[in-house]
A and B are shown apart, each in its own frame.
Chain A
Amino acid sequence: MPRLLELQRAMYLSLVELDDREAAPHIVVDGLAPEARLNIYRNTFIGSLTNALRLCYPAIHRLVGAEFFAGATARFIPACPPETACLDDYGEGFAAFLAGFPPAAGFSYLTGVARLEWAVFRALRAPDRPALDPKALAEIDPAEHPLVCFTPHPAVGLVADAAPVDLIWRAVIDRDDAALGAIDLAAGPVWLLVERGLHGVEIIRFEPAAWRFTADLFAGRPIGTTLAVSAPANAAELIAGHLLAGRFAGFELTTFLPTLPACHP
């Protein structure tokens, strides 16, 4: 008789790794093969998570179609099963998976659209947290401003891609085939900030230098280090804008200023 943990590991092997050999002997046949009974649960496992990913990646689902999407999730889900029972936490790795999914080769913009969709989803469902009050910065010695390391608000994200993925995403979500057809994939890269606005998610295009500077700040780099490696001319204005828009959740003061390269490509 298997111990409970042993049986649960056998069920994991069956549902996730498609290996029924350890679980099947413990299951009553009763007119239907154990493998068929296990398959009912496997179908629910894959089906529930495919539905969760469809809700998270609606534009990808429409771009590739239900059959392609199901084929991709059937490979992705066993490779990356959820680590929590909150499905709002699930799906971050799907963009990276698509980048290495052979049937998606040749559609490089899919990965960018997927990364944008994840940022949109996180902006919608991130924990509700108050934004950093700019007054808190006014209370520290200006000489210490270079030591400030910001924590980005969880409902704000950054995405950059070689294709205009914001236009693609909008056209697909709006089911605007004319707009989708008019998009020039070679129009150049986009540098995007995604955030939760008063009336839903907002996607804002940034200049490359401003985006890189923001990415360094969001990575928790001290302001002093960030200014040293990627300071656009309007750095002070950018920081003020981020503060006023509530894009930081907090900050801390570092004890030293590392001289590191910028954190983005």
Chain B
Amino acid sequence: MLHDAAESRAKGGSIPARAGIGLRFPHHQAVLDAHPAIGWFEIHAENYFAGGSPLTYLEHVRRDYPLSCHGVGLSLGSAGGIDHNHLRRLRDLVTRFEPGLVSEHLSWSVVGGRYLADLLPLPLTGEALDVVCRNIDAVQTCLGRRILVENPSSYLRYRHSTIPEWDFLAAVARNTGCGLLCDVNNIYVSAGNHGWEPSAYLAALDPASIGEIHLAGHAVKDLDDGVRLRIDDHGSRVCPEVWVLYAEALARFAPVPTLVEWDIDVPPLATLLDEAAKAQAVLDRVPDRVGYATAA
């Protein structure tokens, strides 16, 4: 049923502190047909930069649900600066669909005008901090709104990094006024790969800066030489350890909009809704629920 759809539109599309799911192409028609009782949807912005039926579907979905716009290609960490053509396309999308949240990653993917199709890790240095802050300023100025920046998952660290990732994120938020998107699965993955303590990472984040949480599944690879790597592939259910860490995050941050991501081997819509229901159950156990989150 439409439950609080009309209410959502009345609130200008703000994202409620409830569970949402990523809107994927295979589910477009199923969402319109079933009209699931889900708090909101998140899109990958770049999937809607072109024209045709995806935009038509999105128009229909947006009429009934709040929307979050999550970028994967803005490359906030590019030393060469933001691709202004990409930013213009993002601005056009944001203007058209008025998402309640706009987010991107603490990573880079563009160098020399070429897109490397991955969220590549940054060296955590003073120079990189300056670059990221300058690029976020450019984005927030162009969009005329605050964005959220997501902590990355990673499989390597650079020798010349000098700033812990959590301190780097805090400085980014402090210097630019952006919010943070806390990807709990990413913390768990990176902590496993680099020997960090996930709870300490969470404890280092300022609760006031957290505007959204992401949850996803990841793969575990045991390599020949005894090394275990966790790969953030978004291709399975959220693992039990990440659910525990999520509850810990909510206890620290208070309830915030929570997204369940699933990007490869996308399952039936019902499976995603089932994962979102689990997240909602954790949210419901947290006292002192807040109303709506917005990065606008």
Binding site for B on A (CB under 8 A): 1-5, 7-9, 11-12, 15-16, 25-28, 30-32, 34, 36-38, 40-41, 44-45, 48-49, 52, 81-89, 124-129, 154-155, 196
Contacts and interface: CB of A to CB of B under 8 A. Distances in A.
A127 B83 contact: no
A155 B112 CA distance: 30
A48 B51 contact: no
B114 to A, nearest CB: 5
A72 B189 CA distance: 32
Contacts of B122: 4
11 contacts: A16-B116, A26-B160, A30-B194, A30-B195, A37-B156, A40-B229, A45-B116, A85-B73, A85-B75, A85-B109, A86-B86
Given A11-B120, A32-B229, A41-B155, A85 B115 contact: yes
A9 B111 contact: yes
B123 A45 contact: no
A5 B55 CA distance: 36
Contacts of B50: 86, 88-89, 125-127
Contacts of A30: 157, 194-195
B136 interface: no
Contacts of B116: 11-12, 15-16, 41, 45, 81
Contact of A40 (B79, B80, B155): B155
Interface in B66-107: 72-75, 77-80, 83, 85-86, 89
Contacts of A49: 117
Given A4-B128, A9-B111, A124-B52, A84 B158 contact: no
A42 B245 CA distance: 30
Nearest to B80: A5
A128 B49 CA distance: 11
B158 A7 contact: yes
Contacts of B73: 84-86
A127 B55 CA distance: 10
Contacts of A129: 51
B118 A44 contact: yes
A16 B117 CA distance: 11
A128 B52 contact: yes
Which among B114, B115, B195 has the greatest number of chain A C-beta atoms within 10 A?
B115
Contacts of B165: none
B100 to A, nearest CB: 23
B200 interface: no
Contacts of A11: 111, 116, 120
Contacts of A28: 156-159
Nearest to A49: B117
Interface residues of B, number: 53
Which among B52, B155, B195 has the greatest number of chain A C-beta atoms within 10 A?
B52
A41 B160 contact: no
Nearest to B25: A55
A130 B12 CA distance: 29
A3 B125 CA distance: 10
Contacts of A37: 155-156
Interface of B: 46-47, 49-55, 72-75, 77-80, 83, 85-86, 89, 108-118, 120, 122-123, 125, 127-128, 131, 155-160, 194-195, 223, 225-227, 229, 231
A67 to B, nearest CB: 19
Given A8-B108, A26-B158, A84 B223 contact: no
A58 B115 CA distance: 23
A81 B113 CA distance: 10
Nearest to A3: B127
Contacts of A36: 223
Contacts of A52: 117
Given A26-B160, A124-B53, A127-B50, A83 B225 contact: no
B126 to A, nearest CB: 10
Contact of B51 (A3, A31, A34, A155): A155
B156 to A, nearest CB: 4
Given A5-B79, A12-B114, 11 more contacts: A4-B123, A5-B111, A7-B123, A31-B226, A40-B155, A40-B231, A83-B115, A84-B85, A126-B50, A128-B52, A129-B51
B247 to A, nearest CB: 30
A7 B123 CA distance: 9
Contacts of A88: 46-47, 49-50
Contacts of B74: 85
Contact of A32 (B52, B72, B120, B225): B225
B143 to A, nearest CB: 16
A76 to B, nearest CB: 13
